[in-house]
């Protein structure tokens, strides 16, 4: 097999792109697993997204996922903490004093 200079440069370029993609993929998985912003379920969802979209998933993680946090178990603004239980919550206001 005779390789010309452009062929060798093309192979080197593909190799560098592949190495960068693998590093991005592995780095994103490691970053997800050591993240303290997400619990087990959140980490699993991010890992699945990274596996499902091998380029877009890691890029999205590094641009959005590391700084964003899905807040659950927090009352919506304007609702008292004790109103999180079963039934309909009671809206409070400064005027009612509740």
Q: What is the DSSP letter of 61?
A: I
Q: What distance in Å separates the CA atoms of residue 76 and residue 39, rounded to the nearest whole number?
A: 21
Mean pLDDT, the chain, whole residue set? 80
The pTM for the full model equals 0.61
- pLDDT 10s digits, 31-79: 999 988 888 888 999 999 999 999 999 999 999 887 776 555 555 566 5
Q: What distance in Å separates the CA atoms of residue 21 and residue 78, rounded to the nearest whole number?
A: 45
> Quick check: 68 and 78 in contact, CB under 8 A?
no
């Amino acid at each position: 097999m005779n390789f010309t200079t452009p062929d060798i440069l093309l192979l080197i370029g593909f190799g560098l792109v592949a190495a960068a993609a693998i590093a991005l993929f592995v780095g994103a998985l490691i970053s997800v697993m050591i993240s303290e912003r997400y619990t087990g379920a959140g980490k699993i969802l991010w890992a699945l997204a990274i596996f499902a979209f091998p380029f877009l998933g890691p890029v999205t993680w590094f641009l959005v996922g590391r700084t964003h946090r899905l807040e659950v178990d927090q009352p919506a603004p304007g609702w008292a903490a004790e109103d999180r239980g079963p039934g309909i919550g009671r809206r409070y206001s400064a005027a009612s004093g509740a």
